[in-house]
Structure formats: structure tokens, C-alpha cells
């Protein structure tokens, strides 16, 4: 994918880009996706605002939930294709904050969608954007930010 970039940077970058692309596809003003450097040079934090605050309704709640799972899906895809299965420490199953947001919104909107269903829907959606996912992942891994 990109020589010389630490695999954890690529994994976290892919994770955030997954959110960005899925939430944008769902009609939200998501982004920018960012990854910041930690105190000792490793990954400090990844972030992608959903753009959903105050605009989630019964028509787009499923798109929001799919976007929550899209980070983990994209990270797993990137890991499998480019990182020999290495996802990067606690990012390997999706950030706990993503799962918490998913559970909170699913409960408050009384949606029957499970995390696994959201992952499957995210995988189908993101497959159509595979080339763009790769381009944006490299951009964020090398520059720290990406817009879509």
C-alpha cells in the first residue's frame, strides 16, 4: 500500500476513512477524518465527526448506524489486504466509542439492527468505494487529515 508507513498508522487511517465514506454516503456532512501523533510518535488519536448531530431522524438512522460499524469494517479490509492481518492493538475490533455510539443511537431510535448486520451493510457499501478508500487511507496516513 505505502512503503515506510507504520502499519498502525495505516490501520487507524483506514478505520477513520471508513467512517468518513459511509457517513457521507448516508447523507451526513462527515469529516474531516484525522489521525494525530501521540506523545512518543505513535498514533495518538483517530477521529471523524459524523456530521449527524441534530440531523439524525427515522429516515437516516440506519445510515448512521452503518457508519459507526464502517470504521471496523474498513480497518479489517485494509489489514487483510495490505497489513498481513495486523490491525493494530485495540483498533482490531472497532473502537469502543464507535460501539457505544451505535448502542446508544440504536436504543434511543429503537432500531433492531445488530452490530453484525451493520458491519455487513457497511462492507457492501464500502466495496463500491474500494479504490477511493485506499487513496484516502494513504492520504490521511501521510498527512494526518482527509476530506471526501
pLDDT (tens digit per residue) in 14-24? 999 999 999 99
* pLDDT in the model for residue 2: 56
Rounded distance between C-alpha atoms, residue 96 and residue 119, angstroms? 15
* pLDDT in the model for residue 85: 72
Contacts of 96-104 with C-beta under 8 Å, sequence gap 24+, read: 98/19, 98/68, 98/69, 98/71, 98/72, 99/68, 101/68, 102/65, 102/68, 102/69
Instruction: Show the cell assigned to 113.
Output: 439492527
* pLDDT in the model for residue 135: 95
Residues whose CB is less than 8 angstroms from the CB of residue 51 and which lie 6 or more positions away in sequence, other chains included: 23, 28, 29, 30, 31
* pLDDT in the model for residue 3: 63
* pLDDT in the model for residue 7: 82
* Contact by Cβ (8 Å): 74, 133: yes
Residue ranges of the chain whose pLDDT lies below 50: none
Give the burial class of 47: count Cβ atoms within 10 A of its Cβ; 0-12 exposed, 13-18 middle, 19 or more buried: middle
Residue from 92, 93, 27 nearest 64 by CA: 27
Amino acid at each position: 500500500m505505502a512503503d515506510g508507513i507504520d502499519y498502525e498508522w495505516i490501520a487507524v487511517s483506514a478505520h477513520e476513512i471508513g467512517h468518513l465514506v459511509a457517513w457521507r454516503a448516508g447523507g451526513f456532512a462527515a469529516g474531516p477524518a484525522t489521525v494525530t501523533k501521540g506523545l512518543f510518535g505513535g498514533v495518538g488519536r483517530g477521529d471523524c465527526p459524523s456530521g449527524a448531530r441534530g440531523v439524525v431522524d427515522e429516515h437516516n438512522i440506519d445510515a448512521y448506524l452503518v457508519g459507526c460499524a464502517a470504521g471496523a469494517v474498513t480497518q479489517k479490509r485494509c489489514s487483510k489486504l495490505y497489513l498481513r492481518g495486523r490491525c493494530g492493538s485495540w483498533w482490531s475490533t472497532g473502537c469502543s466509542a464507535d460501539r457505544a455510539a451505535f448502542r446508544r443511537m440504536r436504543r434511543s431510535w429503537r432500531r433492531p439492527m445488530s452490530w453484525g448486520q451493520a458491519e455487513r451493510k457497511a462492507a457492501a457499501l464500502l466495496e463500491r468505494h474500494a479504490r477511493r478508500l485506499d487513496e484516502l487511507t494513504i492520504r490521511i496516513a501521510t498527512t494526518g487529515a482527509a476530506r471526501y
